[in-house]
Amino acid sequence: MSSSQSVQNNGGSGFNLCYEPWIPVLDVSGQTQEVSLKQLFDESNLIRKIHSGDATTDVAILGVAVVIFFRAVLENTGEFGELNREPKKWIQNISSGGSERLYFVQDYLKKYQDRFNLFDAEHPFMQVADLHTSKGEIKPVSRLVLDSESEYFSMRAEKTLTSLSYAEAARYLVTVQAYDYSGIKSGAVGDPRVKGGRGYPIGVGWYGATGKIIVHGENLIETLLYCIDYEQLLNVEKVRGKNHRLALNDKPVWEREDPDAAAPRAYTGGDPDKYKDEPTPATGMCEILTWQSRRVRLFPENGRVTGVLVSNGDKWLDRNTYTDPLTAYRFSKNQSTQTHYVWMPQTHSAERTLWRGADALLTRLSSSQEKQNKPSTIIRQISSGKYFSPDTKTKIQLIGMVYGTQSSIVEETIDESMTLELSILTEQGAEISTMVRDNIQLTMDAAIALGQYVGNLLRAAGKEYEFRPTVTESILHRMEDEFRSWLADLSVSDDVSMQAAAWQSKVRRILEDEADQLAVSAGPKAAIGTIYDEQFYNTAKARRQLSGRLYKLLPHAYSSIITSAQEENHA
């Protein structure tokens, strides 16, 4: 069915995301297709994952699906009761059941179907129906492409992108609300913050301020089950002798009775010059995962979106709010005082993402330490053993956005993943997870030693010593696949010392092989050597220094715990 036919069949009122295909997915057989929201849940046990080709778009759409699932459970008293009584059993039943088991999600979508219309006259999905500027400006659709203002997005590409299909526009819309860059926006009429026709920076979209952590199951329904914050969902309080579900107050954008206007929700009227734009805390995971950081309006023409308007939306609060279960939270020394501690969302490091990300995943809360980073809710839920079977291996994905120039452009997308046995995250896996974290640090230190070794080779060749960080980062990158394989094979039943020895032996072998190649590249002058500051330097001395450093860093690689034959078995 073509886009034009679809709109016509919807009574000419628009493009309904519940029934029109717009979400790219990869099914369990390896085939790709586009599905509607209804199909996404109907076939959730046959869909491997959302698969648009862009990790930020995937996680933005997943966020919408997670919220739909959360609200559907919450509104169905029968399902809510079963989950509350026996959470692990309910999760297993949902995971192993067919599409008919998700009847309550279809009921929810049917109830709110009018709110998922992309071009509804009053409640267009994630938009403001009458958004406009004083000059009536309309931007090209390339404004929806987040990297369109980066140096990698060519002028030719921008000129050729004159329109988008409704499905494409829906995907970009959800992504913009999640990850839009900061900077000056179009000044919408009715927004009290606008000065001189401009909307001044309020920060990036909420997702862009976080480091998303997604635990993937064998199929989409398992992934959705991992992404729910069950403490939020099941939180109740007694009101006149009856349990009141507190999460009912945590409404996503499409459930709100009053549609968004150009002004921020915090603005209640009055003199716009006296309005102070303060960040607003989210009620819970449903509100924050559908947070409207921007006011957007799509302009359709002849079955395509040909223009867009993007203005400032609601400012989010990022201090001491733990509503988003898909991000960890870091202790902020700079924002904290002696009497008031502050935690903020923890973003992923653009450098050494795998190594630092794995370390953060395996970090455990210490009861004796207050000023510490907090793992994400979904990781803590797994650690508790209350909801999921620990003997399952899952893929854990780390997704983030790196911005530049005061967060006004997108520089790169972070997309890293690793496979892990969930039991390693539980108390049972405390010893082996500590071993992994220790060896991550030792590996990075050993890579630094290799960068120092190259500096010593330069000195041996008669040049100035210069630490070479590119060598360090290059060898860490080369070891990533080896690390992933080792991590994926780990189990809580493993001998910790043996696994440490297996990994350190791999690191030693890789670094020594690289050191050999670097020595050859240093040339005969370095091999012969030179005198610097009354000391003799040559390749052999540099190599002895490296070997001594590796011996201290990787003691298990030099011990008798593991033989070369055993190392082959662990390879």
On the CB side of 521, how many CA atoms lie within 13 Å of its CA?
A: 11
Task: Please report, for residues 38, 106, 181, the alpha-carbon distance to residue 113 in angstroms, rounded to integers and kept in the order given.
Answer: 10, 10, 30
pLDDT at 429 (0 to 100): 95
Q: What is the mean pLDDT of residues 497-503?
A: 97
DSSP states along 200-221: PP----GGGGS-EEEEE-SSHH
Closest to 23 in 3D by CA, of 55, 59, 50 = 50
For 286-298, the pLDDT digits (tens) are 999 999 999 999 9
Question: Does residue 437 surpass a pLDDT of 50?
Answer: yes
CA 390 to chain centroid, in Å, comes to: 23
For 111-149, the pLDDT digits (tens) are 999 999 999 999 999 999 999 999 999 999 999 999 865
Task: Please report, for residues 116, 257, 284, 323, 434, the alpha-carbon distance to residue 251 in angstroms, rounded to integers and kept in the order given.
Answer: 15, 10, 8, 13, 39
pLDDT at 449 (0 to 100): 98
The angle subtended at Cα 111 by Cα 108 and Cα 113, nearest 5°, is: 100
Question: Does residue 472 surpass a pLDDT of 80?
Answer: yes
Give yes or no for a contact between 356 and 443, defined as CB atoms under 8 angstroms apart: no
For 143-184, the pLDDT digits (tens) are 999 986 555 554 445 556 899 999 999 999 999 999 999 999
User: Given phi > 0 = left and psi -120 to 50 = alpha, else beta, which region is 22?
Assistant: alpha
Which residue bears the tokens 């890293």? 416
Q: How far apart (Å, rounded) are the C-alpha atoms in residues 313 and 308?
A: 15
Q: Is 279 helix (H, G, I), strand (E, B) or coil?
A: coil
The token pair that represents 540 in the structure block? 């052999």
The angle subtended at Cα 72 by Cα 70 and Cα 77, nearest 5°, is: 110
Question: Does residue 570 surpass a pLDDT of 90?
Answer: no
CA 315 to chain centroid, in Å, comes to: 20
For 322-374, the pLDDT digits (tens) are 999 999 999 999 999 999 999 999 999 999 999 999 999 998 877 778 889 99
Question: Does residue 10 surpass a pLDDT of 50?
Answer: no
Q: Is 427 helix (H, G, I), strand (E, B) or coil?
A: helix
Q: How far apart (Å, rounded) are the C-alpha atoms in residues 262 and 186?
A: 11
Which residue bears the tokens 């129906």? 129
Task: Please report, for residues 268, 277, 290, 319, the alpha-carbon distance to residue 335 in angstroms, rounded to integers and kept in the order given.
Answer: 29, 20, 26, 9
For 188-217, the pLDDT digits (tens) are 999 999 999 999 999 999 999 999 999 999
Stated pTM of the model: 0.92
All residues at 6 or more sequence positions from 181 whose CB lies less than 8 Å from its CB, including other chains: 146, 149, 204, 208, 403, 407, 408, 409, 410
pLDDT at 157 (0 to 100): 58
CA 425 to chain centroid, in Å, comes to: 19
Give yes or no for a contact between 231 and 320, defined as CB atoms under 8 angstroms apart: no
Q: How far apart (Å, rounded) are the C-alpha atoms in residues 560 and 240?
A: 69
Question: Does residue 3 surpass a pLDDT of 70?
Answer: no
Q: Is 466 helix (H, G, I), strand (E, B) or coil?
A: coil
pLDDT band of 89, cuts 50, 70, 90? very high
For 512-557, the pLDDT digits (tens) are 999 999 999 999 999 999 998 889 999 999 999 999 999 999 999 9
CA 350 to chain centroid, in Å, comes to: 12
pLDDT at 373 (0 to 100): 93
pLDDT at 298 (0 to 100): 98
Give yes or no for a contact between 344 and 374, defined as CB atoms under 8 angstroms apart: no
pLDDT at 405 (0 to 100): 93
β-pairing, 212-216 vs 393-404, is: antiparallel
Q: How far apart (Å, rounded) are the C-alpha atoms in residues 475 and 15?
A: 49
pLDDT at 257 (0 to 100): 95
Residue type at 334 in one-letter notation = N
Q: Is 383 helix (H, G, I), strand (E, B) or coil?
A: helix
Closest to 401 in 3D by CA, of 176, 157, 229 = 176
3-state SS, 234-264, equals CCEEEECCEEEEHHHHCCCHHHCCCCCCCCC
Give yes or no for a contact between 373 and 346, defined as CB atoms under 8 angstroms apart: yes
Q: How far apart (Å, rounded) are the C-alpha atoms in residues 389 and 382?
A: 8
pLDDT at 408 (0 to 100): 95
